[in-house]
Amino acid sequence: MLDVKDLTIEFHDHLAPETVVFDFCLHMEPGEIVGLVGESGSGKSMTALAIAGLLARHDMEKRGEILFEGKDLLSCDRQQLRALQGSRIAMIFQEPMTSLNPVCRVGWQVEEALRIHCPQMTKQERRQRAMQALADADLKDTQRVYDSYPHQLSGGMRQRVMIAAAMVCEPKLLIADEPTTALDVTIQAQIVELLKRINQEKKTAILFISHDLSLVRQLCRRVIVMQGGYIVESGTVDDVFYRPKKAYTQKLVGAIPECVRQGTKGNTGKLVLSVENVHMGFVQKRRSLFEKKRRIEAVRDVSLSVREGEAVGLVGESGCGKSTLSKVILGLEKPEQGKVVHYSEHPQMVFQDPYGSLNPAYKIGRILEEPLRIQGGFPAAERRRQAQEMLVRVGLDEKIADRYPYQLSGGQRQRVCIGAALMLKPKLLIADEAVSALDVTIQAQILELLRRLKEEMGLAILFISHDMRVVYQMSDRVVIMKDGQFVESGDTDTVYFAPQHPYTEQLLLAAGIRT
Amino acid sequence: MMGKKSSTNFKVGAILTGIVLVCMAVGFFWTPYDPEAMNSARKLAGVSLAHPMGCDNFGRDILSRVLKGGGTTLLVALGTVAIGACCGIVAGAFTGYYGGIVDEVFMRINDALFAFPSILLGLVFVSLLGSGKYNVVVALGIAFIPSFARIVRSEFIRCKNMDYVKSAKLAGAGDLRIMFVHILPNVMTTLSSSVMIGFNNAVLAEAGMSYLGIGVQPPDASLGRMLSEAQTYLFSAPGYAMFPGAVLILTVLGFSLLAEGIKERRQGS
Amino acid sequence: MKYFAKKLAGLVATLLAVSFLVFAAFAVIPGDPATAMLGTEATPARVEELRARLGLNDPLIVRYARWAADFVRGDFGTSYRYNMTVKSMIWDKIPITLTLAGMSFVLIVLISVPVGILCAWHAQSRLDRTVMVVNQIIMAVPAFFSGILITLVFGLVFHFFTPGDYVSYHTSWSGFLGYLFFPAVAIALPKAAMAAKLLRTSVIAEKKLDYVRTAYSRGNRTKAVLYRHVLKNALIPVVTFLGMALADMVAGSIVIEQVFNIPGIGRILLTSISNRDYPVVQAVIVCIAFLVIFINFLVDMLYRWIDPRIALE
């Protein structure tokens, strides 16, 4: 059905032409699901856009053939291409919020493909089809969804709306570009289930693009691995994942945090943090004069202790209260009830977004020195020496001290963040989703760095994440949080291999650790 | 493509602004003739080598008056922006960073002041304080505070929740240090282009007020004032209006191109 | 509906705040109105008597309440300078200024929207670059100077209109509107240039967003993407700008009235300022402020209609 031969994409907007995709080949049968895997910058999204006919910039050149049902999409004119888009080939994207038009109603957007491709349909018929499509995407209360605007829906619902809008004309090929990356794990699992069902019921072929290897493993039978614009390896999921031939694939597969029983070691270090029965709630801002104020209980009666040299994992999905808890622990917000006791000075934090946590106005050296300046009592030469030592310690070149944050890569920035947090030699470090924004291979390196620092400095780490696999790699003990409460806690192996709470089980299933 | 365009904007803007500033600086110390010396024999004289821009209805040399008057206009604009930006930064920083009831009240007042276009607010203050160079600076300066405060406030609100601010807090930085060492440098980039735009608005507001006869008072020269005097002789001596007008336009154009160029450069990096 | 109620409450609050600020500002100025009214006949005893009669000895807030109540009833006070009510002085001038501002607003929209869309659509083409250079220059020309240029070119050279020969709307509406056309152009030009540039930037920025890609992926024509998807989003910042511009235009007409010799509100304001006729100044300023605030209110309503996300904030 789809046959891509030697697709090469070149950009001409720089002085020298830059090739982003080299000789890409792909063959897809009707009703097949193929995974396309690679890290950021591997050219996978470019390839997907080219197949969907959405790469039409005048400063780029595409060579090769994209045969869809016998027709070459690269030599088609715009009109022929348009006739296929939305009716035979549909696409869904990573960010459902920005991919939907914010000022148009959901129903109108779902019906759009029908208005374009089936102009003979009456208004009622279109509406019926759109409702059906919404229902098929497992949306409840379709009437309300139909009439609402995108911002009134949750992230998962928005992606379902995207899927409904893509499927409304029953296309033969659905291209899904990182469709679950922006979503919570349990929602992720539901979307993957939905795609699987659509594939089985409607016989729609799916090209599934993702950086998440475990998702691809769950959904696809065949997989293509890309790096730097080239296809590194392709084959069945089992071959690629369990018998990788190329070094890069091996590295990529090796970077997936595996969950193999590690044995528990008791920790008898000194206590660095104890949280006792902390309770925290917010009064939601009123949206109008007449609305009743609503209280949201963000953290309910939570207790936790962390010892020296110990890493405690805190797992939860967005909105479970983990960020509020971390703020309370750091003293950025006062708890309403209960107390937080620190047994050491200057607990520090590493944040998710390495772009936002480094002050863009200053050079790296100045950022590292800042905590010492605030504390005072360090002469300039001493500050500089300590900053350079720290750069080496977190695995960076000393020369980086003279650069600005925007000149560094994501991984380098996160190393700087860790370094800046450690300048005051804290005993407790809170890492809030510290590796979530990074590519898998970089993720593995940062985790390695954190483990090393933990050993070297006797650091206690509270590791907050939504990613079950990463947490397993990092932690000695785990706490699972849902709706402001701890639903389960214990040492890592026990929680992962003998979960007591159904929610833990659900998370493990979604992460593909239990099957 | 973008790079080429941005440098054109920047270059043209810098050259225009440079020429205007140098001329005004020269005019501050030296003018070809005494800008106030009248000579009835040269009344409304046309363009000549001796008087490159001609003479006005009192026979005064227009070039000298443009140099002097342009300088006054620029100084008034500079003072206006200085008052507006300084007060605006302090007000915006504190209300934006702390929020709460003070912010609420301040924003109400700000909204109320914002309801007055700056020239109208200038008129109100001048009618209260009386006209004259310094009163115009104070009047326009106060009139410009709300717009600067608004920009700084919203930038502070955006920045105060950034992770680097939290990091600084955790390292033990006090509120003042966070506001003025950590946040302010990041606000500066946005602020610098609004300062330039504000400068332009101040030039235009001063010219408008002087044109209306309630700004800079005679015998002080000012571009706006010259334009209003020239209007009567528009048909007989068009140069009288055109030269001051052209200088006004070039000044404003230079600054806006420069602001544009700086903005594009920043986006480029 | 709740949004409407909230905005309405805000409107009333701002109106009160503005009128109080203006009132207080005029209450603290040096110079006693009683002395001013009596002129040369001012003796301490007579001044005191007049002060008591005018209620000038009451606390500020009481005087404000009395003034506000009178204002709402349509009694704007009496001029110090002329022995007539402020209302009779300004009432029939208001339509002139409003028509001028309204006409220039219509011109702004008529000029800026097509130009902005055209340039955004052909961004970086020769047409776009030329228009943008011209645009940049127009933006730098203050309205009163373009007014002077228009007077020179269309009035004195081509005789399309006679400068200074204002036609009242009592005499002839068509003559009135005809005379106001050129002043309206002068006010509209710089604002239209700004609005066109803003719309162009906004459309170009919106064109890069994800939802546009989604629209293309459904097989939309380029034009449909522009008019059905991009434009509605791109207009949001332009509406904000136009709201502020409308307020500016009311103020801008003060200057332009002077250029074209139109006896509108601005004229009264200027004469009253130089005469130190404070009741008139105060009334005019409060009227203009009310007008501006009311326009902002309308813009907020329009905003709500264009951008459904507003209600959440």
C32-64 pLDDT, tens digit each: 666 766 666 667 787 788 777 777 777 888 888
Token pair belonging to A193: 């289930």
Residue B154 CA to residue B96 CA, distance in Å, equals 7
**Does C45 contact chain A (CB < 8 Å)?**
no
* Cβ–Cβ gap B177/A358 under 8 Å: no
User: Could you tell me the CATH number of the domain that includes residue C194?
Assistant: 1.10.3720.10
Chain-centroid distance of CA A343 in Å reads 34
Structure tokens at A505: 């089980």
- Going through chain B in order, the beta strands assigned E by DSSP cover none
| Cβ-based contacts of C26 with chain B (< 8 Å) | 128
pLDDT of residue B131: 73
Is C256 part of any domain?
yes
Looking at the domain assignment, is residue C150 inside a domain? yes
B171: chain A residues, CB-CB within 8 Å:
346, 348, 370-371, 374-375, 423-424
Q: Please tell me which residue, B267 or B211, carries the higher pLDDT value.
A: B211
Contact of B266 with chain A, judged by CB distance below 8 Å, is answered with no
Can you give the pLDDT at residue C163? Answer: 80
Q: Does B100 touch chain A (CB under 8 A)?
A: no
Percent of chain B with pLDDT over 90: 20
Distance from CA of B61 to the nearest CA of A (A): 49
Chains in contact with C, where contact means 3 or more Cβ–Cβ distances below 8 Å, are A, B
* Chain A contact present for B11, CB below 8 A: no
A221 within 8 A of A33, measured Cβ to Cβ: yes
Question: Which backbone phi and psi does C132 adopt, to 5 degrees?
Answer: -70, -35
Which residue in A has a C-alpha nearest to residue B183's C-alpha?
A359
Tell me what the pLDDT averaged over chain B comes to: 84
What is the Cα–Cα distance from C121 to B154, expressed in whole angstroms? Answer: 32
Q: pLDDT by residue (tens digit) across C232-263?
A: 899 888 988 888 888 778 777 888 988 888 88
Contacts of C308 in chain A (CB under 8 A): 102-103, 149, 151
Contact across the interface for C254 and B108, Cβ inside 8 Å:
no
Would the CB atoms of C233 and A287 count as touching at under 8 Å?
no
- Where does the pLDDT of residue C109 fall: very low under 50, low under 70, confident under 90, or very high at 90 and above? very high
Give the pLDDT score at A14. Answer: 64
Region for residue A489 given its phi and psi (left: phi exceeds 0; alpha: psi -120 to 50; beta: otherwise): beta
State whether B123 and C276 contact (CB < 8 Å). Answer: no
Contact C81, C89 (CB under 8 A): no
Is a pLDDT exceeding 50 seen at residue B177?
yes
Which comes out higher in pLDDT, residue B214 or A408? A408
B231 touches chain A (CB under 8 A): no
Does B171 contact chain A (CB < 8 Å)?
yes
CB atoms within 10 A of CB A65: 15
Contacts of A374 in chain B (CB under 8 A): 168, 171-173, 177
Question: Which chain B residue is nearest to residue C29, measuring alpha carbons?
Answer: B128
Q: Is residue C43 part of a domain?
A: no
Q: How many residues does chain C have?
A: 313
Which structural domain range is residue C196 located in? 94-263
Q: What confidence score (pLDDT) does residue A122 get?
A: 93
Residue A263: the pLDDT is: 62
- By Cβ distance, the residue of B1, B171, B186 closest to A374 is B171
Q: Is residue C300 part of a domain?
A: no
Instruction: Quote the number of domains for chain C.
Output: 1
**Cβ distance of A330 and B170 shorter than 8 Å:** yes
Closest to C147 measured CA to CA, from C108, C183, C177: C183
Compare CB distances from C216 to A54, A102, A290 and report the shortest one's residue. Answer: A54
Structure pTM? 0.84
Cβ–Cβ of B171/A423 closer than 8 Å? yes
**Å between B252 CA and nearest CA of chain C:** 5
Interface mutation vs chain B, best among C7, C148, C246, C256, most B CBs within 10 Å: C148
- Does any domain span residue C180? yes
pLDDT tens track for C266-307: 888 888 887 778 888 888 888 888 888 888 888 888 877 788
Whether C270 is in a domain gets the answer: no
Q: Is B258 on the interface with C (CB under 8 A)?
A: no
Q: What's the mean pLDDT in B171-187?
A: 91
Instruction: Report the residue of chain A nearest B164, measured CA to CA.
Output: A357
Q: Which residues of A touch B166 (CB under 8 A)?
A: 332, 349, 351, 357
Q: Do A84 and C219 touch (CB under 8 A)?
A: yes
Q: Name the residue with higher pLDDT: B245 or A282.
A: B245
Contacting chains of B (3 CB pairs or more, <8 Å) are A, C
Chain C nearest-CA residue for B250: C140
Question: Which of C211, C302, C304 best tests the A interface by mutation, with the highest count of A CBs <10 A?
Answer: C211
**In this structure, is residue C245 part of a structural domain?**
yes
Domains of chain A: 2-254 (3.40.50.300), 257-347+426-515 (3.40.50.300), 358-425 (no CATH)
Q: Which residues on adjacent β-strands are paired with residue A339?
A: A276
Query: Which residues neighbour A229 within 8 Å (Cβ) at sequence distance 6 or greater?
Result: A19, A20, A21, A22, A42, A43
Q: Span B131-143, mean pLDDT?
A: 85
Between chain B and chain C, how many beta carbons pairs sit less than 8 Å apart?
A: 116
CA dihedral (B238, B242, B243, B245) in degrees, to 10, reads 150
C3 pLDDT above the threshold of 80: no
CB-CB under 8 Å, A357 with B164: yes
Q: Is C1 part of the contact surface with chain A (CB cutoff 8 Å)?
A: no
Q: Who among C152, C251, C276 is closest to B238 (CB)? A: C152
Q: What is the spatial order of strands in the sheet that A33-37 belongs to?
A: A89-92, A173-177, A205-210, A33-37, A222-227, A230-236
Does residue B5 register a pLDDT over 90?
A: no
Which of A404-418, B152-166, C2-16 is the least confident region? C2-16
| pLDDT tops 70 at residue B1 | no
Q: Identify the residue with better confidence: B20 or C305.
A: B20
Cβ separation of B257 and C148 shorter than 8 Å? no
Tell whether the model's pLDDT for residue C17 goes beyond 90.
Answer: no
Residue B3 — very low, low, confident or very high, per pLDDT cuts 50/70/90? Answer: very low
Q: What percent of chain C has pLDDT over 90?
A: 23
Q: Do A361 and B169 touch (CB under 8 A)?
A: no
Compare CB distances from B167 to A13, A349, A361 and report the shortest one's residue: A349
Of B124, B212, B260, the CB nearest to C285: B124
Chain B residue with minimum CA distance to A423? B171
Residue C192 counted as domain residue: yes
In this model, does residue B41 exceed pLDDT 80?
A: no
Chain C: closest CA distance from residue B157 (Å): 15
**For residue B119, which residues of chain C lie inside 8 Å, CB to CB?**
251-252, 254-255
Q: Which residue of C has its CA nearest to A101?
A: C211
Dihedral pair phi/psi, residue C276, rounded to 5°? 55, 40
What are the b/e assignments for A400-421, b being 16+ CB within 10 Å? Answer: bbeebbeebebbbbbbbbbbbb
| Nearest residue to B244 via CA among B60, B37, B14 | B60
CB-based contact A33:A193 (threshold 8 Å): no
Q: Which 185-204 residues of chain B touch chain C by CB within 8 A?
A: 200, 204
Each of the 515 residues of chain A gets a pLDDT tens digit; together they read 899 999 999 888 666 778 889 999 999 999 999 999 988 888 898 899 999 988 876 778 888 999 999 889 888 888 899 999 999 999 999 888 889 999 899 999 999 999 999 999 999 999 999 999 999 999 988 999 999 999 888 888 999 999 999 999 999 999 999 998 878 888 888 999 999 999 999 999 999 999 888 888 889 999 999 998 999 999 999 898 888 899 888 888 887 777 766 666 666 778 889 999 999 887 766 544 455 567 778 888 899 999 988 999 999 888 888 888 998 998 888 888 888 988 888 889 998 888 888 998 899 999 999 999 998 889 999 999 999 999 999 999 989 999 999 889 888 999 999 999 999 999 999 999 888 888 888 888 899 999 999 988 889 999 999 888 889 888 989 999 998 899 999 988 889 888 999 999 989 888 878 77
